[in-house]
Structure 1
Amino acid sequence: MDLTDTIELPTPADTVPVGAGLSIFDPVFLGIDEFGHPAYLPMIYRNILIGGEPGAGKSSLLNTIVGHAALCPDVRLCLLDGKQVELGLWKDAADVFVGPDIDHAIRTLRRVQTVMDNRYAFLLSHRRRKIGPNDLFGQILVACDEIAYFSATAGDKKDQDLFAALLRDIVARGRAVGIIVAAATQRPSSDIIPPSLRDLFAWRFAGRCTNDVSSDIVLGHGWYARGFSSNSIDPNNQGEGYLIAEGGIPNRVKAAYMTDADIIRVADYATWTRRRSGLVAPAESAVKVAA
């Protein structure tokens, strides 16, 4: 071919091809371990509690989990955030977003509890014990940033206890019917989260804690004595912590970090795909319904 010839480029396609969507049955990428290997977390049929001091990177890890779920067409999002801004960028992709309103939080958990009961009735009628990836109804991710706001700060003691009881029931019974809970708090002590709730989380992530006792509260009693304490983590190393599975030993993990711009890009794409598939209503429709 003569190098002076004009090369005709192909006409751009009208649409941009995209890769296959994710599924909540796929392991969630969390970051890398201390050996540089990717760290994945199987979330289906499991729950995770994320603890650590302020600035330890709890919300970053929670956003990574929510981001994976938002890109899964088989997951509905139920987000609770007392500060509004930690999970607020995912609001348009969620079925429900709860801000600093404990009454709304309680109503939302009651709805999730009703869905859970209905799904168990479905399983019983079909002689099954848990749902699978091909069931007609999708999974639900209940993500709560800073449990303490709802369990120890907002409302009165009766409301706080009711919130904790509802969340405990969902964590205890929701796994088999595809209801997953991911919750973050600064220090899951007994005055913030009842031990009966804290001990139900199969997965736990302890970001840097102010002392060894706080680290043991997140990971479980006795791990500091065996050489695992998140108090040893550099305060400037945000996002690093110990990840432990039910019955396992803690592994040191550096959680992936998404900037606000990253979250906005992923959230906008997730919202667009969910509206196209009917998972969430278009903004204009939501306004009409609200009116």
Structure 2
Amino acid sequence: MTALEPYEDDQPMPVDLPERPHTIDITAVASRVENRRPVLPPYLRNRVEFLAWCRWQAQYGAHTVRFHGAHSPLYLARLALWTPIGLYRAARSVTRWVFDAEAAPVRHDAVRRNATAEYMSLSRQRNTRARQRGTVALIGLLLVTVGVWVFVAFAPPEWMAAGLVTVVGVLGKVGAPGDRRVTDQATVSPFTSEPLRADVLTTALQSLGIAAMSPKQGRITYPAPIRDIGSGWLASVDLPAGVTAEMVADRRPQLASGLRRPISCCWPEADQEAHGGRLELTVLKVAMSQARPVKYPLRDSGLADIFGVLAFGTDQRGRPVKLPLIESNMLIGSLPGAGKTASLRTVLAGCALDPTAELDIWELKGSGDLESFERIAHAYGSGVDDQTIEGCLNGLRLLLADLERRAAKLKQLRTTARDLVPDSKVTRELANRRTLGLFPKVFVVDEAQELFSHGEFGKEAGQLATAIIKRGRALGVILILATQRPDKDSLPTGVSANVGTRFCLRVMGQVENDMVLGTSSYKSGIRATHFTRSDRGIGYLVGATDAPVVTRSYYLDAAATDSIVSRAYLAREKAGLLTGQAAGESPEAAPKVDLLADVRTAFAMTGGERMWHSELLEVLAELRPAVYGDWDVRRLGVELRELGVPTVQVAAEDETGERVNRRGLRREDLEKVLSAAGAHPEIEQ
């Protein structure tokens, strides 16, 4: 049959690829492309892991030496107490050897069987051995006696002390009870410190209750040996068909129970470079919260580049975790006291060390946790009062207006200097040209729930933040929000649904978990609810890497933060980049309430190009109820026409889905009026 002929109905259809011949060429090619085991173990190829391994070995060895050195008098006392017993046991053993006690059961058996000839032969053998061994024992005793006398008579005192300690040590060890140790354990751990073994791990995986992974259903294999990475062990596991790494991660408490380890020491994750059934399991020797914190890389020297990656923390194995902040926004959420503000301080330290970044910082708790950054901030506010919250809202209004300016500038550059904006976004080259005004802008709100849940300002703040998050990514604007109450009332859904980078520390429930990390994160096994009270500064980081990663953020105390801010201030001062409050300038005034600016804000919120007057009025009424709450469509049209914005027919679908024409306006007409007008008349309130 040729390849073009159809198969008959009763002829089987081949589904497997034909087997390739095993030629030398194919074998050689396969050997070049197949996955090979590394020549050096991972902790020798990774500087961070190698240093962690060396540090752990040195710390463990030093602690062991100090511990046993301090307890050595106790050990010597135990040995001295057991020395008489050891002397008795040694004498008894020599006596039994001299009189051939090991053959006594054979002689007794001959007596029991009335084997006279055999017994007499055994007795003669015993007498001969006793004479020979007795002579040897006597000579040995004489030599030992003479040696001891000579040693005592001529040896210096320190030698005598060493000899006495040696004799006491040997006889004490011989006389030690069988259930007692001479030395105490230098370390006491709540779990076994034995290395992770494949049989133990296999049993633990099979006990998770996953049907496809039961001993009868699927086979668990290990593509590489379990490796000691210094801080713990790393196991690569190929799960049975149909079982994913996420299914195991979802049962992390049960896995920790099966391994007899604390849950804070067991971290299963998927191998993104392999397949869905490849599990990478890290089992730590010490919980992340108890391990020695890693020093912030830029603690003493160096600057950062916000267009690159910022130092943020370390993962379970102690490897650095970098934070790509540009073209993204960030949300940090947790329970109170879980390390939210400390993590935010680390992010701000990286932003501060980029002299071109302009920082607006609003700490709405009033505790002054971020006051170190006030020296370099373009705008800074701290407090829970209405005046501070209104100042934060004013900052969001200014930021949204700045987005319009940045977008217009980029549009102009695409026309006049296309090579500067090949991707239609702010780059490092554009940011360095200060006259363009496209420098990176970082707007930070700590305790954001105080802003979004405010009775008067909350709704507008949520709309502004949503619009900024959606539009600011390519314009060099970064919004960072931190909240200790991540719920639907304190965190607008438009904000939580559009943030690109998320860091969730300890939370109590599934709703809070998914509000910060994204919908269905809890079902996917990404559960910040498993963190304990001791896991301060530890959380799931999502969006910074291809897969969620457990991260312990670097910790900066007040002294370290002040030192970093001082360097950042000097760098800004030298480059002439101190602005706003840091340069002694008065805070920017709140933008005047005028119709054209508010219409522009409404277009920014909706994202459309055309809008009915009725739709526009609804948005304006939500934005400023006190100003536009009593307006009707007719008044809106009159006011817009007086300002030069023409009324046009806008075709769109109504509530029933029918396409109709209604009076409205176009965004391009609004932009023409805005660009032509130097100022906008204020609305009478």
TM-score, with normalisation over the residues of structure 2? 0.38
Q: For 2:538 and 2:303, locate their aligned partners in 1 and report how far apart those are by CA, in whole Å.
A: 28
Give a deviation string over 1:95-136, Cα, whole Å, max 9, x none. Answer: 111233122112111111122111100111122421110112
2:446 maps to 1:163: no
Match of 1:93 among 360, 376, 385: 376
2:389 maps to 1:102: yes
Q: For 1:98 and 1:50, locate their aligned partners in 2 and report how far apart those are by CA, in whole Å.
A: 19
Q: For 2:545 and 2:350, locate their aligned partners in 1 and report how far apart those are by CA, in whole Å.
A: 25
Paired residue type of 1:201: V
Q: What are the within-5 Å matches in structure 2 for residues 117-132 of structure 1?
A: 117-127=404-414, 128=421, 129-132=424-427
Deviation of the 1:188 alpha carbon = 2.3
Higher mean alpha-carbon deviation, 224-233 vs 36-45, is at 224-233
Match of 1:218 among 516, 524, 542: 516
Paired residue type of 1:61: S
Q: For 2:449 and 2:527, locate their aligned partners in 1 and report how far apart those are by CA, in whole Å.
A: 22
Deviation of the 1:272 alpha carbon = 2.4
Residue 283 to residue 269, structure 1, CA distance change in 2 (3 Å) = farther
Q: Is the 8 A contact 2:378 2:582 kept in 1?
A: no
Paired residue type of 2:507: C
Q: What are the within-5 Å matches in structure 2 for residues 98-247 of structure 1?
A: 98-100=381-383, 101-127=388-414, 128=421, 129-135=424-430, 136=433, 137-153=438-454, 156-157=455-456, 159-245=457-543
Which protein is bigger by CA-based radius of gyration?
2
Q: Is the 8 A contact 2:363 2:381 kept in 1?
A: yes
Paired residue type of 1:107: N
Q: Is the 8 A contact 1:275 1:282 kept in 2?
A: no
Q: What are the within-5 Å matches in structure 2 for residues 254-265 of structure 1?
A: 254-265=552-563
Q: Is the 8 A contact 2:376 2:582 kept in 1?
A: no
Match of 1:60 among 342, 365, 376: 342
Residue 184 to residue 281, structure 1, CA distance change in 2 (3 Å) = closer
Q: Is the 8 A contact 2:378 2:580 kept in 1?
A: no
Higher mean alpha-carbon deviation, 165-174 vs 45-54, is at 165-174
Q: For 1:51 and 1:283, locate their aligned partners in 2 and report how far apart those are by CA, in whole Å.
A: 28
Q: For 2:354 and 2:504, locate their aligned partners in 1 and report how far apart those are by CA, in whole Å.
A: 26
Higher mean alpha-carbon deviation, 99-108 vs 33-42, is at 99-108
Q: Is the 8 A contact 1:86 1:145 kept in 2?
A: no
2:310 maps to 1:28: yes
Residue 119 to residue 212, structure 1, CA distance change in 2 (3 Å) = same
Q: Is the 8 A contact 2:313 2:321 kept in 1?
A: yes
Q: Is the 8 A contact 1:275 1:281 kept in 2?
A: no
Deviation of the 1:19 alpha carbon = 6.5
Paired residue type of 2:468: I
Q: For 2:580 and 2:490, locate their aligned partners in 1 and report how far apart those are by CA, in whole Å.
A: 37
Deviation of the 1:283 alpha carbon = 8.5
Q: For 2:403 and 2:448, locate their aligned partners in 1 and report how far apart those are by CA, in whole Å.
A: 21
Deviation of the 1:72 alpha carbon = 0.4
* Structure with greater helix percent: 2
Q: For 2:465 and 2:582, locate their aligned partners in 1 and report how far apart those are by CA, in whole Å.
A: 32
Give a deviation string over 1:216-269, Cα, whole Å, max 9, x none. Answer: 221122222222211111211200001111895421111111011111111122
SS at match of 1:227: coil
Q: For 1:149 and 1:250, locate their aligned partners in 2 and report how far apart those are by CA, in whole Å.
A: 28
Residue 200 to residue 29, structure 1, CA distance change in 2 (3 Å) = same
Give a deviation string over 1:161-200, Cα, whole Å, max 9, x none. Answer: 1111111111111111100111111132210111111111
Q: Is the 8 A contact 2:322 2:544 kept in 1?
A: no
Q: Is the 8 A contact 2:346 2:555 kept in 1?
A: yes
Residue 20 to residue 216, structure 1, CA distance change in 2 (3 Å) = closer
SS at match of 2:550: strand
SS at match of 2:566: helix
Residue 166 to residue 197, structure 1, CA distance change in 2 (3 Å) = same
Paired residue type of 2:474: A
Deviation of the 1:273 alpha carbon = 2.2
Q: Is the 8 A contact 2:338 2:505 kept in 1?
A: yes
Residue 173 to residue 272, structure 1, CA distance change in 2 (3 Å) = same
Give a deviation string over 1:61-109, Cα, whole Å, max 9, x none. Answer: 1111111111102211111111241222101111111233122112111
Residue 190 to residue 261, structure 1, CA distance change in 2 (3 Å) = same
Deviation of the 1:282 alpha carbon = 10
Deviation of the 1:278 alpha carbon = 2.0
Q: For 2:347 and 2:529, locate their aligned partners in 1 and report how far apart those are by CA, in whole Å.
A: 24
Deviation of the 1:138 alpha carbon = 1.2
Q: For 1:139 and 1:185, locate their aligned partners in 2 and report how far apart those are by CA, in whole Å.
A: 23
Residue 224 to residue 134, structure 1, CA distance change in 2 (3 Å) = same
CA RMSD of aligned residues (A): 2.2
Q: For 2:488 and 2:544, locate their aligned partners in 1 and report how far apart those are by CA, in whole Å.
A: 20
Q: Is the 8 A contact 2:380 2:581 kept in 1?
A: no
Residue 255 to residue 122, structure 1, CA distance change in 2 (3 Å) = same
Q: For 1:248 and 1:109, locate their aligned partners in 2 and report how far apart those are by CA, in whole Å.
A: 31
Residue 246 to residue 220, structure 1, CA distance change in 2 (3 Å) = farther
Residue 269 to residue 226, structure 1, CA distance change in 2 (3 Å) = same
Q: Which residue of 2 aligns with 1:13?
A: none
Q: For 1:283 and 1:102, locate their aligned partners in 2 and report how far apart those are by CA, in whole Å.
A: 17
Q: What are the within-5 Å matches in structure 2 for residues 65-84 of structure 1?
A: 65-84=347-366
Q: Is the 8 A contact 2:377 2:581 kept in 1?
A: no
Residue 112 to residue 286, structure 1, CA distance change in 2 (3 Å) = same
TM-score, with normalisation over the residues of structure 1? 0.86
